[in-house]
Chain A
Amino acid sequence: MLRFIMQRVLLMPVLLVVFSVIVFALVQAPPGDFLTSYAATLASSGSSIGETELQALRQTYGLDKPIYVQYLYWMGNLLRGDLGLSLEYQRPNAELIGERLVLTLALAAFSFIFTWIIAIPAGILSARHQHGPIDYFFTFFNYIGVAIPNFMLALILMWLGFSVLGISVTGLFSPEFEQAPWNLARVADLMKHMWLPAIVIGISGTARLTRVMRANLLDELNKLYVVTARAKGMSEWKLVLKYPVRLAINPLISTIGWYLPQLFSGSLIVATVMNLPNIGPLLLRSLISQDMYLAGSLLLIYAFLTIIGTLLSDILLALADPRIRMRG
């Protein structure tokens, strides 16, 4: 077990180097560079920039060098812990990403907890009362949850919040805390705003997880070990929770690792609609403007989190299932 974790941890830097090459190649793939799109933006807003000025800027940013030189320059900075400078914002990338990353992770944690707290019990109830009113009730909501685009749900809830409750539910902070330094009051304000986006983002995942949990449990409920437990004289709920539920959750544990990357890209529209200061909109903006060091850093962090997430869910799975722990 320990060896397995060590192996995986040692493999991580190798994976990250491979990812960094791929990420850099992808970011560089669109024709032109940041300055081309910068010039285009200026042109569309009526002003313009001279060719000589562009050349000068290109030299300043090193955009005239060959790609591998640019890559080595970026990597060299990364190894020194420097994420580089955003070309568009003219600010250090670490500063731009920092708080947004924290908020993204917090949002992910919240919507993850919401998803599991709702979906697992709902899936269990659905399976235990298969084809009964409770099952149909959850099935109905599951279809709605999957079918409604989450940004639309966000719009509906925002409108309801505004028209019925008279509150503005966009963003993650009240205006007075928007730029405030971190303190307890700001955290409290964050919590007040966090639950709604967490639910909106988590709702389709909840619906999907409920269905999977229901299906997994239905498979397990017919297994012979359930009959054995019943024949021992265990009470029905106790035995269902101890045996089949435990086995039905096991395959879900391996999906925990995908949760974060899914949220990165999946919540983009919601984040835009609800004006959430998380990673999604920043990544989109940096890709559009070809702000390559920002985009590259974001994608690399994204890859890093995916690797960590997968490792975590593998460890969790090994802890939960002795067959994996002791045979692997």
Chain B
Amino acid sequence: MGNKTDKEGAMVTLEGGGEPLLSVRNLKVHFPMDEGRVRAVDGVSFDVQPGQVVGIVGESGCGKSVTMKAILRIVEPPGRIVEGQIMYHSRASGEAGTSKVRGTIDLVGLAPNGKEMRDIRGAEIALIPQEPMAAFSPVHTVGNQVIEAIRLHRDLSKSAARQLAVDTFRDVGISMPEQRIDSYSWQMSGGLRQRAMIAMALAANPRLLIADEPTTAIDVTTQAQILRLLRKLRFEYNSAIIFITHDLGVIAQMADYVVVMYLGKVMAQGPVDDLFHNPLHPYTQALLRSIPSVQSAPRVKLPTISGSIPHAFNRPKGCPFHPRCTSFMPGVCDRDEPELKAVDGRQLVSCFLFRDTPEVANGQA
């Protein structure tokens, strides 16, 4: 990659300055349905630093995929961003040529299919979807789709783009890339398909990769390879990653920073070590308890979180987690919604158990 050194240079100055690459603030995505309004994402805030891996965890239906779609501005109708900001800070300094984006942009303010947003989509922020089988068109060769992604954002000839695609295929560990590039996705194995998908996302050298459960559709051994590959590429391409998953094990391996979501809200967030070793929020604690461990005694029932996720139309009043919470305080948790606030200086927690903690300066630690 020609501009890798430039990027690293830019990154050093920025990490010194501490400006995040992406700041999501109070994001709300609602789906007006005949049965009522579904608040799929309801006031989510988090930051992604350059080069950082942010894991978003939560059970299905918690709004993690919709958050990712909102960042890319590809939320399907009737879904709509009703409030909030998604600030994308392009690093204008020292960046020569490749980027059409300068300065700070609120992605919410852009037309979803306008030229500006499309210049960011794929080029600055790229998606690694789940289920690579369904994510490639079956009637176009993989190479056709990767080359297309390159040429959308780079002024390259067909043969130059093809060469770049072949190089990227090699980077993601696809053997015989010259031949593989002309095959169809259904001629590849699951792991190979996901590698090709990652190559397509990386091809335009984005600064932020959004990986939406990239390992759920592949078998466990391949999963480990893909995770290793993503860790390696993150340094080679110097991209930040938003890693969406329901698998806490994957988060522990991959993420620097973790955002825990429940019913469209952020329950807790913080650096991965703090969050895993000193979980403060009852929901985080419950999630961690329900991970099976090799050390635990055999034939002991695995703790589960009691109850089930409420239906989207029946959101509980107050803290959305209170009906399932072991620390439920009647009269408090079912009345008001707790706010996300800093506790112990490193984690942000949204829970009334910590309401008496003095407010620390806003923003992530």
Residue in A228, A231, A246, A326 with the greatest tally of chain B CB atoms within 10 Å: A231
**B20 interface contact, C-beta 8 A:** no
**B129 interface contact, C-beta 8 A:** yes
Q: How far is the CA of A233 from the CA of B134 in the complex (A)?
A: 18
Point out the residues of chain B lying under 8 angstroms from A225, CB to CB: 134-138
What interface size band does chain A fall in?
20 to 34
| B10 shortest CB reach to chain A, Å | 22
| A234 shortest CB reach to chain B, Å | 6
> Is B129 touching A232 in the complex (CB atoms < 8 A)?
no
Q: For residues 167 through 212 of chain B, which have their beta carbon under 8 Å from a beta carbon of chain A?
A: 184, 186-187, 197, 200
Q: How far is the CA of A320 from the CA of B76 in the complex (A)?
A: 29
Q: How far is the CA of A250 from the CA of B137 in the complex (A)?
A: 13
Q: How far is the CA of A223 from the CA of B76 in the complex (A)?
A: 12
> Is A233 touching B153 in the complex (CB atoms < 8 A)?
yes
**A224 interface contact, C-beta 8 A:** yes
| B200 shortest CB reach to chain A, Å | 8
**B123 interface contact, C-beta 8 A:** yes
> Is A233 touching B138 in the complex (CB atoms < 8 A)?
no
Point out the residues of chain B lying under 8 angstroms from A250, CB to CB: 139
Q: How far is the CA of A172 from the CA of B83 in the complex (A)?
A: 64
Chain B interface, number of residues (Cβ within 8 angstroms): 32
> Is B126 touching A231 in the complex (CB atoms < 8 A)?
yes
> Is B139 touching A233 in the complex (CB atoms < 8 A)?
no
**B226 interface contact, C-beta 8 A:** no
Q: For residues 134 through 167 of chain B, which have their beta carbon under 8 Å from a beta carbon of chain A?
A: 134-140, 145, 148-149, 152-153
Point out the residues of chain B lying under 8 angstroms from A243, CB to CB: 137, 140
What mask results when residues 254 to 291 of chain B are scored 1 for a CB within 8 Å of chain A, else 0?
00000000000000000000000000000000000000
What mask results when residues 40 to 74 of chain B are scored 1 for a CB within 8 Å of chain A, else 0?
00000000000000000000000000000000101
> Is B138 touching A234 in the complex (CB atoms < 8 A)?
no
| B141 shortest CB reach to chain A, Å | 8
Q: Which of B121, B129, B148, B153 contacts A224 (CB 8 A)?
A: B129
Q: Which of B118, B127, B153 contacts A228 (CB 8 A)?
A: B127
The secondary structure that dominates the A interface is: helix
**B24 interface contact, C-beta 8 A:** no
Point out the residues of chain B lying under 8 angstroms from A320, CB to CB: 139
**A85 interface contact, C-beta 8 A:** no
> Is A322 touching B122 in the complex (CB atoms < 8 A)?
no
> Is A322 touching B135 in the complex (CB atoms < 8 A)?
no
Q: How far is the CA of A245 from the CA of B118 in the complex (A)?
A: 21
**A247 interface contact, C-beta 8 A:** yes
**B19 interface contact, C-beta 8 A:** no
> Is A233 touching B118 in the complex (CB atoms < 8 A)?
yes
Contact A232/B122 with A223-B134, A323-B184, A323-B186 known, Cβ cut-off 8 Å: yes
Point out the residues of chain A lying under 8 angstroms from B119, CB to CB: 233
Point out the residues of chain B lying under 8 angstroms from A321, CB to CB: 139
> Is A236 touching B139 in the complex (CB atoms < 8 A)?
no
Contacts A228-B136, A231-B122 aside, 17 further interface pairs with beta carbons under 8 A come to A224-B129, A224-B135, A225-B135, A225-B138, A228-B127, A230-B74, A232-B126, A232-B152, A233-B120, A233-B122, A233-B123, A235-B113, A235-B118, A246-B137, A247-B139, A322-B138, A326-B184
Interfacial residues, chain A to chain B (CB-CB below 8 A): 222-225, 227-236, 242-243, 246-247, 250, 320-323, 326
